[in-house]
Amino acid sequence: MNIIRHVVTMEVKSRGIECELGIITRADGSAQVKQGNTIVTCGVYGPVEAKSAREKVDKAVVEVIVKSETGLPGPYEKELELLMSSCCETMILTHLHPHTAISVSIQIQSDNGSVIVCMVHALCCSLLDACLPLKTTFSAIKCAFLSDGSMLTDPTTQQEETATSQLTYIIDRKGKLVASHATGSFDTEEYIKGLSVASSTAVHRTDFYRETISRKMSRIKQ
Amino acid sequence: MVLSQTKMDLDFRLLFPEEFIKQILDEGYREDGRSHNQTRSTTLTVGSFKSADGSAVVRIGGTCVACGVKGELANPRAISPKDGFIVLNVEYSLVTGSEKLGAIGGGEKFFSSQSLTQIIQDIIHSSKFINLEHLCIEEGKICWSLNVDVVVLSCDGPVIDACVLAAVSALKNATLPSVEIESEKPLVSMATRNHLKTGQYPLMTSFAIHKKEVSDTNIGVLVDPTDDEAQYCTGIVCIAVTNDQKLTGLYKYGGPAMTSDDIQKCIRKAKKQATILVKLIDNTMK
Amino acid sequence: MLTSPAYKHVLYASMVDSKVIVLPGDAIPLAVGNDIKLGPGTYSGGGREEGSSVFVKPGILRRKDRDGSSSFWVNTQHKRYVPSEGEKVIGVVLRTGRVYRVDIGASQNASLPELAFEGATKRNKPIVQVGDLVFGSLCQADPDFEPEMTCVDSSGRASGMGLLKKPGCVISCTLSLCRRLLSKQCAVMEELQKHYKFECVVGLNGRVWLSAPTLMQTIIIRNCIKSSEFMSEDSIKEMVRQAVLT
Residue C178: burial class (beta carbons within 10 Å; 0-12, 13-18, 19+): buried
The domain locations on chain C are 4-75, 88-163, 169-245
Judged by CB atoms closer than 8 Å, whether chains meet at A185 and B114 is answered as: no
- Answer yes or no: is pLDDT of C125 > 70: yes
Note the pTM of the prediction, 2 decimals: 0.90
Q: Which CATH superfamily is domain A3-7+14-217 in?
A: GHMP Kinase, N-terminal domain (3.30.230.70)
Q: What is the pLDDT of residue A222?
A: 63
Judged by CB atoms closer than 8 Å, whether chains meet at A214 and C14 is answered as: yes
Q: What is the pLDDT of residue A56?
A: 86
> Which of B248, B253, B256 faces A83 most closely, judged by CB atoms?
B253
Mutate which of A211, A213, A215 to disrupt the C interface (most C C-beta within 10 Å)? A213
- Chain B hits for C51, CB-CB cut-off 8 Å, are 216
- Chain B hits for C45, CB-CB cut-off 8 Å, are 214
- Chain C hits for A132, CB-CB cut-off 8 Å, are 57
- Answer yes or no: is pLDDT of A191 > 90: yes
Q: What is the CB neighbour count within 10 angstroms for residue B265?
A: 16
A210: closest CA of chain C, how far (Å): 7
Contacts of B among chains (3+ CB pairs under 8 A): A, C
Q: Which residue of chain C comes nearest to B215, CA vs CA? A: C52
**CA-CA distance, B97 to B260, in Å (whole number)?**
37
Judged by CB atoms closer than 8 Å, whether chains meet at C80 and A47 is answered as: yes
**CA-CA distance, B154 to B236, in Å (whole number)?**
19
- Chain B hits for A75, CB-CB cut-off 8 Å, are 114-115, 117-118, 121
**CA-CA distance, C150 to B108, in Å (whole number)?**
40
- Chain A hits for B111, CB-CB cut-off 8 Å, are 82
B193: closest CA of chain A, how far (Å): 31
- Chain A hits for C79, CB-CB cut-off 8 Å, are 28-29, 130
**CA-CA distance, A178 to B106, in Å (whole number)?**
27
Banded model confidence at residue B216, pLDDT cuts 50, 70, 90: low
Q: Can you point out the beta strands (E) in chain A?
A: 3-5, 17-21, 29-35, 38-49, 61-67, 100-110, 138-145, 151-153, 165-172, 177-186
Q: What is the pLDDT of residue B255?
A: 87
pLDDT, mean over chain A: 89
CB proximity under 8 Å: A 136-175 to C: 136-137, 172-175
**CA-CA distance, A33 to A39, in Å (whole number)?**
6
SS3 B204: strand
Residue A148: burial class (beta carbons within 10 Å; 0-12, 13-18, 19+): exposed
B136, B147, B185 from B144: Cα distances, Å: 6, 9, 15
Q: Is A214 on the interface with C (CB under 8 A)?
A: yes
Banded model confidence at residue A23, pLDDT cuts 50, 70, 90: very high
Among C226, C124, C117, which Cα is nearest to C164's? Answer: C117
Q: Which residue of chain B comes nearest to C44, CA vs CA? A: B214
* Pure H helices in A65-164: 75-91, 115-129, 157-162
Mutate which of B16, B115, B261 to disrupt the A interface (most A C-beta within 10 Å)? B115
Antiparallel, parallel or unpaired: β C99-103 and C110-113: antiparallel
Structure confidence by residue, pLDDT tens digits, A50-103: 888 788 888 899 999 999 998 899 999 999 999 999 999 999 999 999 999 999
Question: Going from the N-terminus, what domains does chain B have, and what CATH number goes with each?
Answer: 34-285 (3.30.230.70)
Banded model confidence at residue B23, pLDDT cuts 50, 70, 90: confident
Judged by CB atoms closer than 8 Å, whether chains meet at A87 and B254 is answered as: yes
Judged by CB atoms closer than 8 Å, whether chains meet at A97 and C143 is answered as: yes
Residue B184 vs residue C117, higher pLDDT: C117
Judged by CB atoms closer than 8 Å, whether chains meet at A82 and B111 is answered as: yes
Q: What is the pLDDT of residue C14?
A: 41
Q: Do domains C4-75 and C88-163 have the same CATH topology?
A: yes
> Which of C23, C60, C108 faces A206 most closely, judged by CB atoms?
C23
Q: What is the pLDDT of residue B102?
A: 43
Domain C169-245 grouped into CATH 3.30.1370.10 = yes
C46: closest CA of chain B, how far (Å): 10
C89, C106, C187 from A97: Cα distances, Å: 20, 11, 35
Judged by CB atoms closer than 8 Å, whether chains meet at B255 and A90 is answered as: yes
Q: What is the pLDDT of residue C16?
A: 45
**CA-CA distance, A91 to B243, in Å (whole number)?**
35
Among B161, B174, B156, which Cα is nearest to B107's? Answer: B156
C52: closest CA of chain B, how far (Å): 8
Amino acid symbol at A44: V
Q: What is the pLDDT of residue C46?
A: 63
- Chain A hits for C180, CB-CB cut-off 8 Å, are 222
Structure confidence by residue, pLDDT tens digits, A99-153: 999 999 999 999 998 999 999 999 999 999 999 999 999 999 999 999 998 899 9
- Chain A hits for B119, CB-CB cut-off 8 Å, are 79
Report ipTM (2 d.p.): 0.91
Domain C4-75 grouped into CATH 2.40.50.100 = yes
Judged by CB atoms closer than 8 Å, whether chains meet at C21 and A97 is answered as: no
- Answer yes or no: is pLDDT of A26 > 50: yes
Structure confidence by residue, pLDDT tens digits, B114-162: 999 999 999 999 888 999 999 988 888 899 999 999 999 988 888 999 9
- Chain C hits for B216, CB-CB cut-off 8 Å, are 51
- Answer yes or no: is pLDDT of B166 > 60: yes
C19: closest CA of chain A, how far (Å): 9
Judged by CB atoms closer than 8 Å, whether chains meet at C10 and A99 is answered as: no
Q: Is A172 on the interface with B (CB under 8 A)?
A: yes
**CA-CA distance, B176 to B104, in Å (whole number)?**
41
pLDDT, mean over chain B: 87
Q: If you average pLDDT over each of C29-38, C66-75, C164-173, which comes out highest? A: C164-173
pLDDT (average), residues B247-257: 92
Helices (H) and strands (E) in chain C, counts: 5, 16
Q: What is the pLDDT of residue A9?
A: 45
Q: In what order do the strands lie in the sheet with C207-211?
A: C169-172, C207-211, C199-203
pLDDT (average), residues B3-29: 80
pLDDT (average), residues C11-30: 68
Antiparallel, parallel or unpaired: β B85-92 and B142-154: parallel
The domain locations on chain A are 3-7+14-217
Contacts of C among chains (3+ CB pairs under 8 A): A, B
- Chain A hits for C144, CB-CB cut-off 8 Å, are 57, 98-99
Judged by CB atoms closer than 8 Å, whether chains meet at C77 and A173 is answered as: no
**Which CATH architecture fits C88-163?**
Beta Barrel (2.40)
Banded model confidence at residue C49, pLDDT cuts 50, 70, 90: low
Structure confidence by residue, pLDDT tens digits, C200-221: 999 999 999 999 999 999 999 9
- Answer yes or no: is pLDDT of B247 > 90: yes
B232: closest CA of chain C, how far (Å): 19
Banded model confidence at residue C3, pLDDT cuts 50, 70, 90: very low
Structure confidence by residue, pLDDT tens digits, B49-78: 989 999 999 999 889 999 999 999 999 999
B108: closest CA of chain C, how far (Å): 23
- Answer yes or no: is pLDDT of B272 > 90: yes
- Chain B hits for A83, CB-CB cut-off 8 Å, are 253
Q: Can you point out the beta strands (E) in B11-140?
A: 42-46, 54-60, 63-74, 85-92, 136-138
Among A180, A221, A44, A5, which Cα is nearest to A123's? Answer: A44
pLDDT (average), residues B226-252: 91
